[in-house]
Chain A
Amino acid sequence: MQFGVFSVSDITRDPVSGETPSEAERIDAIVRIAEKAEEVGLDVFAIGEHHNPPFFSSAPTTLLAHIAARTERLIVSTATTLITTNDPVRIAEEYAMLQHLAKGRMDLMLGRGNTAPVYPWFGADIRQSLPLALENYNLLHRLWREDVVDWEGKFRTPLQGFTSTPRPLDDVPPFVWHGSIRTPEIAEQAAYYGDGFFANNIFWPKEHYMRLIKFYRQRYAHYGHGTEQQAIVGLGGQAYIAKRSQDAINEFRPYFNEAPVYGHGPRMEDFMEQTPLSVGSPQEVIDKTLTFREHFGDYQRQMFLMDHAGLPLKTVLNQLDLLGEEVVPVLRKEIESRQDPRTAEPPTHAGRVREKYGDKPARQPRPNANRGDNVTGGSPYQDAE
């Protein structure tokens, strides 16, 4: 089981101090948060992608490459990469590059994006969001697995003899999670390709995700990737931790009350009772998180939203100390003892290399000399015809 933190990259006014951080301050802060995640023993750091204020993360691979360079064990990921408004060719290139630089310590989560005005900025239309996502991923999947791709679809310029470079590290494509909270087609696509499925698990009561995760598991087995228990599931969650639960509640309330999305809405206590939000002592957060596997089955990755809603950097770092030192070690132990032994290992590059090659060396593609195009003649790589 992997544990990590994810951030949507919001730049939100701190409702307690009244200060809004600058973009520069937030970008510095996020690097510090990612480094801290590794220091306290977490496995994953993920960042969102947005193309409008008040968010800063428009170029996630640049940020993640920088973080990968400053860390040693941390897996960098996204939450989410927009599979709708990004050209799948650019996703293939940028994330393969990140994969090389991070030495395989990366994966990515695909999402559609629900901000209508963003779509036309990139020549897309939100009303086509679902077919766009599905078609784009079909192409992305091939670009990372076939050296030369001929392709024609409804939404993008056709490709003839296109090679996405660099080829994935060790010729093993980055692991992909498909994030969705209510779209069976996305769950079906994740299952069809044997990819991971991630349910954000933050805004709605759990029954919502239970149905979709169950469907994904059934279809994963249907397509012959393994049993239902071996499907790769990730969950989001959110927590605010303090040694004493009353302190957690008092400290977090002003941020909850003005948080983007659910702020100015339900009472925090109701939200805690009816959604996966935990605000309390380490033990309370542990207890609540341990219930997730009872509802969703054993899963591979638990992400926490801890950097949001204007919480100052100092508080977020303190939260990560508590998460990494007092919550996650207990969760690891407890889950290990309760977990079904048939549960799949969480995805890592090393594991996927082993799965593909066993003890044999991994493929290291070396290109032939430039000959102008990939359409004529054989493979652009020396080791293939």
Chain B
Amino acid sequence: MTAQFQLVVVSAGTGDPSSTRLLADRVAQRVTALAARKQLTVGVRTIELRELAGEIANAIVSGHIGVKLRDAITQLQRADGIVASTPVYKAGASGLFTSFFQVLDNDLLIAKPVVLAATAGTARHALVVDDQMRGLFAYLRTVVVPTSLFAATEDWTDAGLTKRVDRAALELVALMAAGFEKTVRDESWGSYQHEFGSAGGTELTIDLDSDLMRLATGGSAS
């Protein structure tokens, strides 16, 4: 039986295993478990940005999207929910993480529910998720769940983290189950900005009834 929902985990962790991936996996597990209680099935796929590092750099400097990056974009395009997790470096999200989301089409993730998570060696980085990462995901028109996740070294032994993971997971399940993304996309997709071939190559609508199209066919500019 195919899952009703696809959850895509994006991890910018660099170790194997990395605590960044571990935090994201915990969320994914809880999302799956909480969804099951509501008789909903969730399939999980994981994108390890470490494996795409070269292609992400190439995309930034030359616009060329490699095969693995293309595949990751397709997965995100089809995702019903996203867990995005990054280590904090120098008081900010990892450059790899930021670069990845910067090469995506502006309209790829519209209305998708997202859990944001970050890990760090010190609690001093705790506000990076709320102060910095939310802005990026707001730009991408995603819906970030109210609970942000952050784990410094000491949090891994703290029951509080588990509680927050549960909270964020439930918030994500609630947004997915409510069909928010589908409603927005079905009823309002055209009101967002798109380019031909955007949304990861899936946006192919051509509006022949526009001012520019009238200008293209001998009419006058308004």
Q: CA A186 – CA B212 in complex, angstroms?
A: 10
Known: A182-B196, A207-B201. A135 touches B215 (CB 8 A): yes
Q: Which of B195-222 contact A (CB under 8 A)?
A: 195-197, 201, 204, 206, 208, 212-213, 215-218, 220-221
Question: Chain A CB within 10 Å — which of B65, B201, B213, B221 has the most?
Answer: B221
Task: For B66, give its contact among A184, A192, A262, A270 (CB under 8 Å).
Answer: A270
Q: Are B62 and A131 in contact (CB under 8 A)?
A: no
Interface window among A84-92, A208-216, A297-305: A208-216
What mask results when residues 256 to 271 of chain A are scored 1 for a CB within 8 Å of chain B, else 0? 0000011111100011
Which chain A positions have C-beta within 8 A of B196? 182-184, 211-212
What mask results when residues 196 to 217 of chain A are scored 1 for a CB within 8 Å of chain B, else 0? 0000000111011001100100
Known: A135-B221, A212-B196. A274 touches B61 (CB 8 A): no
Q: CA A265 – CA B215 in complex, angstroms?
A: 38
> How many B residues are at the interface, by size bracket?
20 to 34
Known: A182-B197, A208-B197, A212-B196. A134 touches B64 (CB 8 A): no
Which chain B positions have C-beta within 8 A of A211? 196-197, 204
Question: Chain A CB within 10 Å — which of B66, B213, B215, B216 has the most?
Answer: B216
Q: Are A203 and B218 in contact (CB under 8 A)?
A: no
Q: How many pairs of A and B residues are in contact by the CB < 8 Å rule? A: 77
B63 at the interface (CB under 8 A from A): yes
Which chain A positions have C-beta within 8 A of B65? 205
Q: CA A207 – CA B64 in complex, angstroms?
A: 13
Q: Are B220 and A265 in contact (CB under 8 A)?
A: no
Q: Are B62 and A262 in contact (CB under 8 A)?
A: yes
A189 at the interface (CB under 8 A from B): yes
Chain A contact surface mostly: helix
Shortest CB-to-CB span from A200 to chain B, Å, is: 13
Which chain A positions have C-beta within 8 A of B221? 131, 134-135, 153-155
B58 at the interface (CB under 8 A from A): yes
Q: Which of A116-135 contact B (CB under 8 A)?
A: 130-131, 134-135
B3 at the interface (CB under 8 A from A): no
Q: Are A182 and B218 in contact (CB under 8 A)?
A: no
Shortest CB-to-CB span from B207 to chain A, Å, is: 9
Shortest CB-to-CB span from A218 to chain B, Å, is: 10
B61 closest partner in A (C-beta) = A265
Shortest CB-to-CB span from A243 to chain B, Å, is: 29
B67 at the interface (CB under 8 A from A): yes
Which chain B positions have C-beta within 8 A of A183? 196
Q: Are A203 and B197 in contact (CB under 8 A)?
A: no
Q: Are A153 and B220 in contact (CB under 8 A)?
A: yes
B195 closest partner in A (C-beta) = A182
Q: Are A135 and B213 in contact (CB under 8 A)?
A: no
Shortest CB-to-CB span from B7 to chain A, Å, is: 27
Q: Are B66 and A131 in contact (CB under 8 A)?
A: no
Question: Chain A CB within 10 Å — which of B66, B70, B212, B215 has the most?
Answer: B215
- Given A155-B221, A274-B67, 15 more pairs with CB closer than 8 A: A134-B215, A135-B215, A138-B215, A154-B220, A182-B196, A184-B206, A188-B208, A189-B217, A203-B64, A204-B63, A204-B64, A208-B197, A264-B61, A266-B62, A275-B64
- Ranked 7 nearest A-B pairs via Cβ: A265-B62, A189-B216, A154-B221, A134-B215, A262-B62, A192-B217, A265-B58
Interface residues of A, Cβ cutoff 8 Å to B: 130-131, 134-135, 138, 153-155, 182-186, 188-189, 192, 203-205, 207-208, 211-212, 215, 261-266, 270-271, 274-275
A selection of 28 A-B contacts at a CB cut-off of 8 Å is: A131-B215, A134-B221, A135-B221, A138-B218, A153-B220, A154-B220, A182-B196, A184-B206, A185-B212, A185-B213, A185-B216, A188-B208, A192-B217, A203-B63, A204-B64, A211-B197, A211-B204, A215-B206, A261-B62, A262-B62, A264-B61, A264-B62, A266-B58, A266-B64, A271-B64, A274-B64, A274-B66, A274-B67
